[in-house]
Amino acid sequence: MRGDCLCGEISFEIVGTLPKLYQCHCSLCRKQGGSSSNTGLIIAKENFRWLIGEEKTSSYVKATGFRSDFCSKCGSVVPNPFRDKPYVWVPAGSLDDTMPLEIAAHICVGSKASWDLISSGAVQCDTMPTLLELIDLIAPST
């Protein structure tokens, strides 16, 4: 599966079995994406590769470790490494293909916006699970 930014200066590819999606409803993710939540995937680093434009990414990192990478030309949020772990966070909105993907989890529901109504039957976590707990929630069905 491939993805890119709005202007096309940055593109990437994901290989292998895709995990399910998750949506984070925390205030940081709302501000990053300008919506009620941020939908993403967590991909093993070896299943991700940049096709073009990796050098055109810019990063914003808060003291807490929250990181947002974006295209320095169009501002689109793009994938970024998941701290010091062997994973890459991929914003679902940057994906080009129309493969059927499923939202498996909603996280930080306890801090969602008052106007945010979650309609999915997916698992809901009031706070941020650990990385391993989140990976278990979004792991592909076998």
Give CA separation, 109 vs 34, 92, 93, 112, 125, in Å.
17, 19, 20, 5, 6
Task: Decide which of 78 and 85 is more confident.
Answer: 78
- Are the C-beta atoms of 118 and 124 separated by less than 8 Å? yes
> Which structure tokens are listed for 88?
């890459």
- Are the C-beta atoms of 6 and 71 separated by less than 8 Å? yes
Pick the range with the lowest mean pLDDT from 26-30, 54-58, 113-117, 138-142.
138-142
> Is residue 140's pLDDT more than 70?
yes
DSSP secondary-structure letter at 59? E
**Domains in the chain: boundaries:** 2-138
pLDDT at residue 142, rounded to an integer: 54
Task: Calculate Rg over the CA atoms of the chain.
Answer: 14
Looking at the DSSP bridge assignments, the partners of residue 60 are: 68
- Containing 2, the helix (H) or strand (E) segment is strand 2-4
> Is residue 65's pLDDT more than 90?
no
pLDDT at residue 100, rounded to an integer: 83
Averaged pLDDT for residues 66-91: 93
Pick the range with the lowest mean pLDDT from 57-61, 87-91, 100-104.
100-104
> Is residue 141's pLDDT more than 80?
no
pLDDT above 70: percentage of residues in the chain: 99
| 34: number of Cβ within 10 Å | 8
pLDDT at residue 36, rounded to an integer: 87
Closest to 50 in 3D by CA, of 14, 82, 75: 14
pLDDT at residue 83, rounded to an integer: 80
2-138 belongs to which CATH class? mainly beta
